[in-house]
Structure 1
Amino acid sequence: MTTTLSATRIGHACQLIEFGDTRVLTDPWFTQQATYYPGEPIAASVETLGRIDAVVISHEHYDHCDLDALVAGGFDLGTPLIGPGTVAGIARAKGFRDVRVVEAWESTTVGELTVTATPGRHGVHEVTFVLQADGRTVFFGGDSLRVPELDRIPERFGQIDLAILPTNGLCVRQMNHEQVVMNAEQAAALTAVLRPVMAVPHHYAFHSGQLGDRMLTAADRDPRHYADEVARLAPSVDVRLVLPGTRVVVP
């Protein structure tokens, strides 16, 4: 019997991915700051998460690595926390006791779960992830740009059941509008290579506040642009636009 695979988008890039009874939290973000607004409801608090078997973090930006919120919410600091070396030092300083460093193409295991870091590129050092357990495979794209190395994922890992990809094409105005996150068209092109059974966009509702949106960042906040591009490039892929708190089950 196929293991149930589901994902619940808590908000932004924070996802609760469940392989049967194995529960993985990605890129935690539960609070907000002056220029970091989720732009949508946060569907859970740290206190209501329940048991988490592993946390995977793509990079150290606050909106993906809100470790202070986990600590303040009484999160179990013995839970394996997996990410690149830039995240590991922060996590250890916050009191996490089982910190696993993985860089591109390196793996670690937690019970039946295998976590493999895959390449990424952003404004700071970032990895993406392939998560596997009980014959099911998920690609988690954090907020990376599209990098050519990601096209190797199907040959390395076989069928992808679920791909979770950023789509807002975030640009930093003060850096001559340098793009630091893949946009809808780039995410759809990667989706066409990965050919997952299901794809879920994320990292699109975030904004920097009224002043910040004018002075700091520019982004596409409409995930329908991604869905339209996937329909053009990979029409067999089931794209789900998921509100925070909605659990989707992958066939």
Structure 2
Amino acid sequence: MSATLATTRIAHACQLIELGDLRILTDPWFTQTANYHQGEPLAAPVSSLGRLDAVVISHEHYDHCDLDALVAGGVDLDTPVIGPGTVTAIAKDKGFRNLHTIEAWESARIGDLTVTATPGKHGVHEVTFVIQAGGRSVFFGGDSLRIPELDRIPERFGPLDLTILPTNGLCLRPADLRQVVMDAEQAAELTAVLRPTLAVPHHYAFHSGRLGDRMITRGDQDPRHYADAVMRLAPDVEVRIVLPGVRVVVP
């Protein structure tokens, strides 16, 4: 019998994924700055998270790699941290001791948990992840762009139970609106390839503040655009738009 699979959205790309008894936190972000706002309520402080079996981090940007908040919140520094070398180097400097550096198509195994880095592309070096345990599989898309290499995931890993994809199509205004995150249509195209049982969008409420939104970033904050696109491109895939703090159990 397959393990229970559930996910709780903390905020932005920070998710608490439960695979049976295993609890995995993705891309932690618990604080804010003048130009980095979650744009939605934070579901829980670090101190209330409880035991974590692993922290999985796609890249080193502050809004995905808020390790200072984990340390300040009392997370055990022996908690495994999994990510590319750019992330594990930072984690080592913060005092984390159980580091697993993986790049695209490399895996880390921690007990019954297997985390495989899959390709990603962003403004800095990034990987995405397939997270597996108890006969269940999750694809976590961080805030990657839509790249062709991700189409290889089904042939390598088989059916997915859950995909968690960014959808805001974030663009950088000072760089002639260079896109650095997949948008709703591109995320739906990838969903149509991956064919999960359940698809959950994230990374859409973020904003850069009143001035930052005018001068630094532009993004789509409406996840319904993704749901509508999936309905056109992969109508058999269920999409769930999840508020922070809501625990969703995947069939």
Aligned length: 251
Aligned equivalents of 1:178 and 1:240: distance in 2?
Answer: 29
Aligned equivalents of 1:22 and 1:144: distance in 2?
Answer: 25
- The residue correspondences of 1:35-184 to structure 2 (distance < 5 A) are 35-184=35-184
Aligned equivalents of 1:43 and 1:111: distance in 2?
Answer: 28
Matched, 1:231 2:226: no
Runs of 4+ in structure 1 off by over 3 angstroms are none
- Counting aligned pairs with the same residue, the percent is 75
> Match for residue 33 of structure 2?
33
1:192, CA displacement in angstroms? 0.1
SS in structure 1 of the partner of residue 68 of structure 2: helix
> Match for residue 217 of structure 2?
217
Q: Write the deviation string for residues 119-162 of structure 1: whole angstroms up to 9, x where unpaired.
A: 00000000000000010000000000011000000000000000
Instruction: Mark the runs of 5 or more structure 2 residues left unpaired by the alignment.
Output: none
TM-score with structure 2 setting the length: 1.00
Aligned equivalents of 2:169 and 2:241: distance in 1?
Answer: 17
TM-score with structure 1 setting the length: 1.00
1:22, CA displacement in angstroms? 0.3
Instruction: Mark the runs of 5 or more structure 1 residues left unpaired by the alignment.
Output: none
Query: Letter of the aligned partner of 2:212 in structure 1?
Result: G
Query: Letter of the aligned partner of 1:180 in structure 2?
Result: V
SS in structure 2 of the partner of residue 64 of structure 1: coil
Q: Write the deviation string for residues 73-107 of structure 1: whole angstroms up to 9, x where unpaired.
A: 11101000000010111000000001110000000
Aligned equivalents of 1:211 and 1:4: distance in 2?
Answer: 44
SS in structure 1 of the partner of residue 63 of structure 2: helix
- The residue correspondences of 1:3-14 to structure 2 (distance < 5 A) are 3-14=3-14
1:2, CA displacement in angstroms? 2.5
Matched, 1:240 2:240: yes
Aligned equivalents of 1:76 and 1:206: distance in 2?
Answer: 28
